[in-house]
Structure 1
Amino acid sequence: MDLFGDLPEPTQTCTPSTVRLNDSKDGSHGDADQDGARKRKQSSSDAEEAQEEVKRVCTEGLPALRGFVAARRGERDEMQDAHVLLPDMSELLSVQPRSVSRLSYFAVFDGHGGARASRFAAENLHLNLARKFPTGESENLEKLIKKSLLDTFKQTDDDFLKKASSQKPAWKDGSTATCALVVDDTVYVANLGDSRAVLCRMDLSEGQTKPITLSLSKEHNPTMYEERMRIQRAGGTVREGRVLGVLEVSRSIGDGQYKRCGVISTPDLRRCQLTRNDRFLILACDGLFKVFSADEAVKFVLSILQTQDSDGADPEEGDSGPDSGLDSACQQLASEAVKRGCADNVTVILVSISFSK
């Protein structure tokens, strides 16, 4: 399990220590009690105002994120994918850590055996994460974020399995999960199964600009050595690349009948600090990556954006607004996957990344 496999990180940071909080102490007695209370109230108010100023200053240096989604049923009878776009997740937290200025969440879920597991995860995983997210003055915030993500996936899986087993007949649905949690300028990706997350970063070295594709997720299938060994130690078998010859993934939410065979809900976690050279993040189910490599998907999006930048308008929508090209690129990428012969459901989330100049 690759917990927090770090990717290349820049040194850009936002340090709230430049703002000093006022501290007022009162040692008066008798008739000065009311004045002391007023001073303490004012001190608290000043501290809150200063903290808000910290967050305002820090937010100004953070990347602007805009999320777009495209979903295609393909040749399937049912759309079993689900997705979530939450550019501002902060409002779901009861108490937000003072060191955090912005929280965003994007996720794609690819269901199998039905759509109930993917829909359940889409409806509940971010709510569980909001409840488990670190609060107050949190030291070692990254370690606590890791723990909250691990606990969130376990809680979501346990809750779904409990609900699934109570049905008559029991639900046998399962789902992959690829979730991107953006905390200020750092993205944390937690994933199960074969849905993926990739980042487009522009390389400006040697006087040329060229795209680099960074993988922010790890696929889980039973043909991988570590995954196969875990399944076999649990008493399961891998036949024709599948658990018991049936299940294509070795980690998932749901799939209660395979949990005794070594199928787990523990995600791999990756962390990457965003830079001014980053253009966009792609989260997609395997329906996209069956017909696109990660590099091809990134270059496909870039080609559309470059074409529309040169044209100055979106030829399909007739809209030259700032989001039209990004939305069109997302829609065209999903449509192209179907055109290339993917019969599976295809869901693509495109998250644009831009820093103010």
Structure 2
Amino acid sequence: MDLFGDLPEPTQVVTGKEPTQSPEESRGEKRKHDEGLEKEVTVEKNEEEKKVCKGQARLKAYVAARRGEREEMQDAHVLLPDMSSIVSSLPSQVSRLAYFAVFDGHGGARASRFAADHLHHTLVTKFPKGDVENLDKLIKKCLLDTFRQTDEDFLKKASSQKPAWKDGSTATCVLVVDDVLYVANLGDSRAVLCRSEHREDGGEKKCVTLALSKEHNPTIYEERMRIQRSGGTVRDGRVLGVLEVSRSIGDGQYKRCGVISTPDLRRCQLSASDRFVILACDGLFKVFSPEEAVKYVLNILEDTSVAVEKKEGQTEREAHHDAACQRLASEAVRRGCADNVTVILVSIEF
């Protein structure tokens, strides 16, 4: 299974259809154009370097957290628009590193808080350094190793307690390397991207919602099969009839039942067509579909008549994004979500 899937390129029209070209045709075509592609890659690389010199996407993150009807806030989040302060050195071809994450704890808040405190520090120690080739492959390995290490470190700490901690947490993390998003997620928290695309009929642009993450629950066939092969069972849509997610950080008592900490990874090149990213725990998506959440935010951003409170130092644009984030979280509670709700809105501006 390819854990490092690319999202559609910004210039493509999103149709939901997979390409029908056969593997043999693909290989033949690749051999036919190898020499030309080599030259094109060099040209594209030079063009890309020029774009970086002109300036990268400006990212600004906003967060809203609501406890809902829960006794305890078990969500945690991290906003690091500039990681340079904790990175000793970066690969020569990387000029910007940013990180945004949301963690939804269950069985307590210790796993989510541990992940929020430690995951990005572990990531920094494992991130490629110096002159490197095949940066994508190394970032993939870095993310996989980071999640594994974070899970192992928390489980070691949890098992040393008396009584042992039984907390677990989902994780949805967006690592921004220059203008590329690398999204790693476990469990049922999600990340979605709002992108403007040309209509197939050539009409005006429309905003589409692209999933940046993949949900992991034991009702999904592949997840259920892994759990059953490990000796676990799925009852009422839950692992052993208790745990709602099939991948997580922590949950030591379920690791022997096929619950793993291997994230799904996705990569997405940012473009001028991109508007914003929403990261949120399942509390939001219990009462909003991803498309509804994106539309709700767009309505606030595009309605200039909406009165918003500007905080000190905020521009009008920033105030609207902040208001959209806060109102989205509040609306989830108003719609009846009793769970904790955490929403991170990352605006994108070229």
Q: How many residues align?
A: 317
> Are residues 1:331 and 2:326 paired?
yes
Asked if the contact 1:82/1:118 (under 8 Å) is kept, the reply is: yes
> Are residues 1:216 and 2:212 paired?
yes
Moved over 6 A (4+): 13-16, 316-319
Amino acid at match of 1:106: F
For residues 101 and 74 of structure 2, the distance between their equivalents in structure 1, rounded to whole angstroms, comes to: 14
Structure 1 residue 270, shift from structure 2 partner: 0.4
Q: Which residue, 286, 298, 301 being the options, matches 1:302?
A: 298
Amino acid at match of 1:145: I
For residues 44 and 230 of structure 2, the distance between their equivalents in structure 1, rounded to whole angstroms, comes to: 47
Paired residue secondary structure (1:207): coil
Asked if the contact 1:67/1:350 (under 8 Å) is kept, the reply is: yes
Correspondence for 1:282? 278
Query: Where do residues 151-170 of structure 1 align in structure 2 (5 Å cutoff)?
Result: 151-170=145-164
Correspondence for 2:32? none
Amino acid at match of 2:192: V
CA RMSD, Structure 1 to Structure 2 (Å): 2.1
Amino acid at match of 2:321: L
Deviations 1:93-151 (A, max 9, x none): 22110100111100000000000000000000000000000000010000000000000
Structure 1 residue 263, shift from structure 2 partner: 0.3
Correspondence for 1:230? 226
> Are residues 1:91 and 2:77 paired?
no
Correspondence for 1:3? 3
For residues 172 and 346 of structure 1, the distance between their equivalents in structure 2, rounded to whole angstroms, comes to: 22
Correspondence for 1:27? none
Structure 1 residue 348, shift from structure 2 partner: 0.2
For residues 261 and 206 of structure 2, the distance between their equivalents in structure 1, rounded to whole angstroms, comes to: 37
Correspondence for 1:351? 346
For residues 320 and 353 of structure 1, the distance between their equivalents in structure 2, rounded to whole angstroms, comes to: 15
Structure 1 residue 291, shift from structure 2 partner: 0.2
For residues 96 and 53 of structure 2, the distance between their equivalents in structure 1, rounded to whole angstroms, comes to: 7
Paired residue secondary structure (2:316): coil
> Are residues 1:82 and 2:81 paired?
no
Deviations 1:220-244 (A, max 9, x none): 0001111001001110000000000
Q: TM-score, normalised by structure 2?
A: 0.86
> Are residues 1:342 and 2:337 paired?
yes
Structure 1 residue 16, shift from structure 2 partner: 7.4
Asked if the contact 1:59/1:102 (under 8 Å) is kept, the reply is: no
Asked if the contact 2:238/2:245 (under 8 Å) is kept, the reply is: yes
Deviations 1:177-214 (A, max 9, x none): 00000111110100000000000001234231211000
Bigger radius of gyration among the two = 1
Structure 1 residue 91, shift from structure 2 partner: 2.6
Mind listing any 5+ residue stretches in structure 2 that lack a counterpart? Answer: 12-40
Asked if the contact 2:310/2:319 (under 8 Å) is kept, the reply is: no
Mind listing any 5+ residue stretches in structure 1 that lack a counterpart? Answer: 20-53
> Are residues 1:241 and 2:228 paired?
no
